[in-house]
């Protein structure tokens, strides 16, 4: 009987530890006009974040030990160091190495893909992380706000690129701007 009780206690402790160790997930999406490669050409460089995210004032890209890093300077002077972990034609993944955000074990992917409709893209930014020094809800709120501002900034860049392309092709530019589907999908 004692062995049975110890087994139950061990299982309960394992279950509690596993549940507590589950990472937080945040995902934000927007639809925008354009083709994935065209939108990615405007926003996909690892340091282009300074051009589309309102919180980032500067970005410095550096190489260390064969790895690519970016150092983001925020409007309040804070700095975040991020490591590029993977990339392809229309996406990249990265992790935060150090910075002022209340997160740890942060891994994220930014991607621009085709939408169901022609000449439309889906912008998606997602991350997994653990809260660090704050409750999970607070860390989620902070990262959600950052992502929301980011995908909105990318959408604005996509619309601007579309508006330049369409008149050159003899098409009206209102097609890309007046779409109700461009609202936040998340």
CB-based contact 92:46 (threshold 8 Å): yes
Please give the Cα distance from 118 to 171 (Å, whole number).
14
Model pTM score? 0.81
Q: What are phi and psi of 116, to 5 degrees?
A: -65, -30
Please give the Cα distance from 78 to 88 (Å, whole number).
29
The sign one gets for the Cα dihedral 59, 139, 121, 55 is negative
Structure tokens given for 149: 């501002």
In sequence order, what E strands does 2-78 have? Answer: 24-33, 56-64, 67-74
Per-position pLDDT tens, the chain of length 186? 544 343 434 444 444 444 456 999 999 999 999 999 999 999 999 999 999 999 999 999 999 999 999 999 999 999 999 999 999 999 999 999 999 999 999 999 999 999 999 899 999 999 999 999 999 999 999 999 999 999 999 999 999 989 887 665 566 655 444 444 444 433
């Amino acid at each position: 009987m004692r062995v049975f009780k110890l087994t139950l206690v061990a299982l309960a402790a394992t279950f509690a530890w596993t549940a507590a160790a589950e990472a937080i997930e945040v995902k934000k999406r927007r639809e925008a006009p354009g083709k994935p490669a065209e939108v990615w050409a405007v926003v996909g460089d690892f340091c282009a974040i300074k051009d589309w995210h309102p919180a980032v004032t500067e970005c410095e890209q550096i190489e260390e030990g064969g790895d690519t890093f970016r150092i983001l300077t925020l409007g309040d002077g804070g700095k975040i160091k991020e490591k590029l972990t993977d990339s392809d034609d229309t996406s990249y993944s990265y992790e935060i190495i150090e910075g002022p955000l209340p997160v740890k074990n942060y891994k994220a992917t930014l991607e621009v893909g085709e939408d169901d409709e022609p000449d439309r893209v889906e912008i998606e930014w997602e991350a997994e992380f653990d809260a660090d020094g704050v409750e999970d809800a607070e860390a989620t709120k902070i990262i959600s706000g950052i992502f929301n501002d980011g995908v909105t900034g990318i959408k604005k860049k996509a619309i601007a690129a579309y508006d330049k392309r369409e008149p050159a092709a003899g098409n009206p530019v209102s097609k890309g701007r007046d779409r109700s589907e461009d609202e936040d999908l998340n």
